[in-house]
Structure 1
């Protein structure tokens, strides 16, 4: 048994009577050997290689018609030129099937194939035959694969083969920046993100307001709004598309906060009032978030008096002498606390002129 790298000596002998110092001729596959070292009746190969394999014979010069029978030099070697291939080729689609094939040049033939999946820090064996099939392939099976071929002489591994699985967009999400409260007059950006291979080539934004049908906004991954107003409030969602399909995100509510506005005061009962009557002043205001504090004032001449403050919009008074004047309320929420101009603009006043209300 000869393996690659061994030293091999072939000897030619004859039973014929020959003159002194005969010259021997060596043949490989019926062709004269000129590239090997031949001494007398010996042919020495110091490090045999696969190129040296073949059928050898010899003859005495001048008697070439009486050449020897051939002897086959079978050079064994470990696997080499090992390669991994995928069938069908190209980028598989999620849910399809693919077969990986390992091929190698070896003598004797490969008797053991092992498939590995290469992870970040190590490799994991996944198959033990020349062909390794991935059926109903999922994205978790994407990655780098290689095979190792082994015979009795040695083993050899292939280069890595990348399995790049393609799939339609999924896990499509909407994110809002900055996060937290969105106040009227500020700026906000909504971003659509999606897991897809190949990457998403088209993003579409939609808005739905007050139970109405969805309205197309724009086609871009991000949608930025400067100087946000209440008109921008609503449910937002996006759709992500690539060549394999589309995916829609859940809706995200864009809630625009604003300080109290259109604040007004009302009086119940209205009409003629008499001393001793009980009246209720009510403060109403449009605000988001809702008003959490109401404050009532009475102005008499140049003096303004605080009548009360609290979470309830109502102020009940029993009419007694000296209560005539101008009454107004202020409505506060957490946005309004940051904007004194808005607070000062929310007054509506009544005058109690002996016991009769009138608009100013």
Structure 2
């Protein structure tokens, strides 16, 4: 007799050999496990159950081996053991392919639940059979990492060692960076660097200018750059999986120079712009194009003009048939007296006697307004040197404060006044 006949690993098992025969003396017993004799001779045997103890037991009285008892089965239950993760692909895992991870384990009863983890975070849980799988379709580099599975069967839960997935992919996000700026003074040095994300790492970088092969290596340095070096550059990154090409970068050579009769003028004064060509390339002529604040100007752009306040900004020039040759930008400042002067009132509704009201003088001027003067019914009431939005506050306003107010703004270039603003005190 086996008591109990179903145990959990670690429990005590009692084997008792019973016989209906009349025995004399102290008979010895023989125990059998799966038909093979054991080195046990007692009628009653005790042991702690392990996985290896599961099987069929029978016994006989020594000397009466042919009268062996029927076999009785011992079932030993245990939590999942020897858990491992296998990968469907035995070689390199390429981005875009399908990969299946399978969790294998030894358990009694069979595993009832599998949970999958990536980098110690749960990603998938499933109740299934003894070799539950997790499939990643169209695998990407974001799927790379360490995976393990956790298996449970009601007796206990255990985890597998981690299995690393290394996803290989061709170069991507390839780009070109410039050591200083994509606008380079002629005669200076510039280095272009190619960057790319790839696994395995990029094995070869190749450089092109205007679609012609120029050089190889991750960096490409042009020493003493000339106007003939201006153009569109890009790089190609290559590994054993594939190739990727960067966007084009426009390398401008600053071999032109804008000259201005004055970089600070008053509105109405004449401005003259001249583009001087110092480019070393022999074929570059004198057909120039002009830019204002980075925007290409029309062919009718007049390089001699009377300055207006809206003409202030940056000016540069380029060669008409080569947009990679240009000048550095120069700044034109146009000074003008205050314009568009207006008075705003802090209260947008009715003004009640006893309240506080602030009048603000707003204007557009270059240089900024230096002096504001406030008038009520054409009489000066307040003068102040201040910022671009100078204010005049009337506290505890009374009916005597009602009337028409305006401000006068001056900045050294000129002085102008706002339209009147009427205050009606209720």
Same fold (TM over 0.5): yes
Aligned pairs (5 A) from 1:59-78: 59-78=60-79
After TM superposition, give the deviation of residue 222 of structure 1 in Å: 1.0
1:123 matches 2:124? no
The equivalent residue for 2:103 is 102
**1 or 2 for the larger relative contact order (CA 8 Å, sep ≥6)?**
1
Compute the displacement of 1:198 (Å). Answer: 1.9
| CA distance in structure 2 between the partners assigned to 1:95 and 1:335 by the alignment | 48
SS in 1 for 2:117: strand
- CA distance in 2: counterparts of 1:241 and 1:6, whole angstroms: 62
Instruction: Output the CA distance in 2 between the equivalents of 1:283 and 1:258.
Output: 14
> In 1, Cα distance between the equivalents of 2:168 and 2:7?
49
Distance, in Å, in 1 between the alignment partners of 2:168 and 2:25 is: 78
Measure the CA separation in 2 of the matches of 1:31 and 1:100. Answer: 40
| Matched length | 270
Contact 2:182 2:252 in 1 (8 A): no
Q: Structure 1: how far apart are the matches of 2:90 and 2:19?
A: 59
Contact 1:91 1:163 (8 Å CA) reproduced: no
Match for residue 114 of structure 1? 115
Do structure 1's residue 251 and structure 2's residue 248 form an aligned pair?
Answer: yes
Tell me the alpha carbon deviations over residues 136-188 of structure 1, each in whole angstroms, 9 at most, x when there is no partner: 22222222211111112111111112222222222110011134652233222
Counterpart selection for 1:41 from 23, 35, 43: 43
Q: Secondary structure at the match of 1:255?
A: strand
Taking the aligned partners of 2:161 and 2:194, their CA distance within structure 1 comes to 38
Q: How does 1:332-351 map to 2 (within 5 A)?
A: none
8 A contact 2:9–2:49 mirrored in 1: yes
User: In the alignment, what sits opposite 1:239?
Assistant: 236
Counterpart position of 1:270: none
Structure 1 residues 166-205: aligned runs within 5 Å: 166-179=168-181, 181-205=183-207
Distance of 2:67 and 2:328 partners within structure 1:
114
* 8 Å contact kept, 1:116–1:127: no
Matches within 5 A, 1:1-360: 1-34=6-39, 38=40, 40-45=42-47, 47-118=48-119, 122-128=120-126, 129=128, 130-179=132-181, 181-208=183-210, 214-258=211-255, 260=257, 285-287=276-278
Q: What is the alpha-carbon distance in structure 1 between the residues aligned to residue 223 and residue 329 of structure 2?
A: 18
Report the CA distance between 1:131 and its aligned residue: 1.2
1-side partners of 2:108 and 2:274: how far apart? 97
How many Å separate the matches in 1 of 2:137 and 2:273?
72
**Residues 1:65 and 1:290: Cα distance change in structure 2 (over 3 Å):** same
1:162 to 1:259, Cα distance in 2 relative to 1, 3 A = same
Identify if the C-alpha distance between structure 1 residues 282 and 33 changes in structure 2 by more than 3 Å, giving closer, same or farther.
closer
Match of 2:335 in 1: none
Contact map agreement 2:11 2:49 (CA 8 A) in 1: yes
TM (norm. structure 2) is: 0.58
Deviation per CA, 1:287-343: give whole Å up to 9, x if none.
Answer: 589999xxxxxxxxxxxxxxxxxx9689xxxxxxxxxxxxxxxxxx8699xxxxxxx
What SS does structure 1 have at the residue aligned with 2:142?
Answer: helix
**After the TM superposition, which of the residue ranges 8-17 and 194-203 deviates more from structure 2?**
194-203
Post-superposition CA distance 1:252-278 (Å, at most 9, x none): 1122224759x9xxxxxxxxxxxxxxx
- Contact 1:86-1:99 within 8 A present in 2 as well: yes
C-alpha contact 2:188 2:225 (8 A) present in aligned 1:
yes
Rounded Cα–Cα distance in structure 1 between residues aligned with 2:85 and 2:168: 20
How far the C-alpha of 1:87 sits from its partner, in A, is: 0.8
- SS in structure 2 opposite 1:68? coil
* In structure 2, distance between residues paired with 1:283 and 1:27: 112
Change (3 A) 1:259 1:18: same
* Cα offsets for 1:79-114 (capped at 9, x unmatched): 011111111222222222121111100111111112
Aligned partners of 1:286 and 1:131: how far apart in 2? Answer: 71
Gaps of 5+ in 2: 1-5, 260-271, 280-287, 292-301, 306-326, 331-426
CA contact under 8 A between 2:30 and 2:41: conserved in structure 1?
Answer: no
